[in-house]
Amino acid sequence: MSSLNLDDFTDLIERPDGGVRRDAEARRERQIVPPGALGRLDDLGEWLAAAQASVPVRPVTRPRVVLFAGDHGVAELGVSTRPAGSARELVRAVLDGGSPVSVLARRLDVPVRVVDMALDCAPEELPDEVVRHRVRRGSGRIDIEDALTLQEAEAAFLAGVAVADEEADSGTDLVVLGDVSVGGTTAAAVLVAALCGTDASVVTGRGGVAIDDLAWMRKCAAVRDALRRARPVLGDQLQLLATVGGADLAAMTGFLLQSAVRKTPVILDGVVSAACALVGQRVAFRAPDWWLAGHNSGEPAQAKALDRMAIEPLLDHGVGVGEGMGALLALPLVQAAAALAAELPEEQPEPKEPKEPKALDKPEEPEEPEEPGNSAAAG
C-alpha cells in the first residue's frame, strides 16, 4: 500500500491568474496591431502572462529541455524498430550532441537534461547526474506483468517531483518535456486507451520511426493485453502507472504535477508526455492549464489524449522522432509570442483639437439720455 496521496495535488494546484490574463487581453487591445491579427500568438502571450502573473509578460530567457529515459520490457515483442533495451544508445547520442534534439538545442542555446529512470544498462555507463534518480533497470513487460511494483512507482513519481523542484529552484522559466525510450509509445497507448475507454486499435500508432504492418499488429495485441490488466486499477492512478506504465512515465507524471504546483509552464512533446499529462489531469483537473502541446506527432493516442484535455498542438510538421524534438521546435513560437505581447507599442490616443475660448458676453452699455436741446421735438 502506497503512502503517497495524489489527491493532495488537487488542492495544491491553482489555475494561472485569470485577472492577470484579463489585464493582458486589455493591454493587447490597446496595441497598434489589431487584436486577432497575430492569430494564436495572441493567446500564447496572454497564457504566458497569466502563468507568470505578469503584465507585460516577461521574456522566456531560461528554458530547459528535460528528457526522462527508460527501457520497456514490452519492446521484446518487436513493437518498435529499435531492439529492446537499446534506449541507452539514444541517451548517449543526446549527451554526445549527435541527436536531433541536441543539434536544435545547441542552435537555440537551450540546455538539455536527461534523467535515467529505468534504462537497461549498468549505471556506470552514464554520468552520475543522469543516473542518480534511477529506480530500476528496465520496466516490466506490461502485457503479462506489472511494469513496476507500487513502491517503485512511488519512488519514480517522487523522483519526478524532485526534478520539477530542482528546475523551479534553479530559475528555469519554461520546460520542454520529452522522453527517450524504447517501447514507451506502447505503454503510453495503453494509458490513453484505459483513461479514454477506447479499444487498442484506436490508439495504436506506428511509433516515431514507422513500423511495418506486422509489427503494428504485434503492438496492437500488446496494447490489448495490457489494457485488460489496466482496467481493474483505473481508480488508482499510481497503481495504474505501476501496472502498465513504467518508471519514466511515472516520473514524468510526477514532474508535470509538481511543475503545475510550482507554476512552471511546460511544453509537451509527443504521445508519451501526452499520456502522462492525461494521468495528471485525472489526479488534478486544473493541472493542464499549465501545459502546452508543442506539436502533433501523428500518434493517434496523442491526439486522443490532447482532445480529452482540450489542448491544441502548436505545430503540425510530421516530426515523429521523439526526444522532445517537436516540443523544442515550438519554443521559438512561444518566445515570439512573449516578445510581441511585451514590446509592441500601444496606440496613442489622437490629440483633441483645442476648443476656441468663448468670448464673454459684454453687458450692454446703457443708452445716454438725450439732451433736451438736441431733441427733434424741440422748438
Q: Please, are residues 97 and 114 in contact by the beta-carbon 8 Å criterion?
A: no
Model confidence at 376, pLDDT cuts 50, 70, 90, reads very low
- Residue boundaries of the structural domains of the chain: 62-333
Which range among 89-103, 199-213, 244-258, 272-286 shows the weakest confidence by mean pLDDT? Answer: 199-213
Q: Is 370 a catalytic residue?
A: no
Q: CA neighbours within 13 Å on the CB side: how many for 82?
A: 20
Q: Which one of 166, 167, 323, 371 is the catalytic residue?
A: 323
10 Å CB burial of residue 333 (0-12, 13-18, 19+) is middle
Residue percentage of the chain with pLDDT more than 70 = 91
Q: Which three cell numbers stand for residue 120?
A: 537497461
- The whole-number pLDDT of residue 356 equals 66
Backbone angles phi, psi at 58, to 5 degrees: -85, 150
Q: What is the CATH number of domain 62-333?
A: 3.40.50.10210
379 pLDDT more than 70 = no
- Starting from the edge strand earliest in sequence, which strands make up the sheet with 291-293, in order? 112-118, 63-71, 174-182, 266-268, 291-293
Residues facing residue 315 across a β-bridge: 295
Q: Please, are residues 296 and 25 in contact by the beta-carbon 8 Å criterion?
A: no
- The whole-number pLDDT of residue 251 equals 98
